[in-house]
Structure formats: C-alpha cells, structure tokens
Amino acid sequence: MATVKKIRISREWNERPEDDIDIAGEIYFVEKGQTYDLLQFTLEELGYDYFWHESLCVPCGKTEKELLEIARNYAKTQITDERLNNYRRFLDYGEKYGWD
C-alpha cells in the first residue's frame, strides 16, 4: 500500500481522445471526449519528491479534498509493493547514473 505525500492539480488539462488511443501514463476516470483535470502525486514510500509515473485524469470541477481522496484511493488499491519497488529502483538508478 502506498501513501500519497502531496498532489498537484492541473485544471482543464486536456480532453480524452475520442478514438481508441490513450496517452501513456494517463489513467482515465472520464469518458472519451471529456475534458479532464490532471492529478499528479508523490508517494512517501519512494523517498524522493518525484511524481508517480502515472497521472490520473479526473472529471473537472472536483475540490482539492476530493482529488486528494481519489489519489489516496488509487495509491491504496492500485500501487502494489512490487510496482513501488520497481519505480524506486528506476529512480535510484537515475539518481546514481544521471538522467540523460
């Protein structure tokens, strides 16, 4: 189980594509063609202030409190220890050897 440390909200970020193409790293909570707010978050367990590699695309108009709850629920139910450890190894490697 992962713990959300902080969130960043980008209001009216984009519109979900109408076709069957999804944008890598975006998890949709909206229908095709619907405009969404982009929700990014950091996790306590990573030990870094990098955002989790997936962003949540949520319906526009939700409060910051509601969005925090969405992020917490996603982290609790969808981010396994294995996924967390894999991402942490990736970040550790980047920090050690650079990001070029």
Residue 87 has pLDDT above 80, yes or no: yes
**Domain ranges (residues) in the chain:** 4-97
Query: Where is average pLDDT lowest: 20-24, 39-43, 70-74, 93-97?
Result: 20-24
Cα separation of 90 and 94, whole Å? 6
Confirm whether pTM is higher than 0.85: yes
β-partners of residue 27 are 56
* List of residues 6+ apart from 60 with CB closer than 8 A: 11, 12, 35, 36, 37
What is the pLDDT at residue 100? 79
**Which tens digits make up the pLDDT trace of 35-84?**
999 999 999 999 999 999 999 999 999 999 999 999 999 999 999 999 99
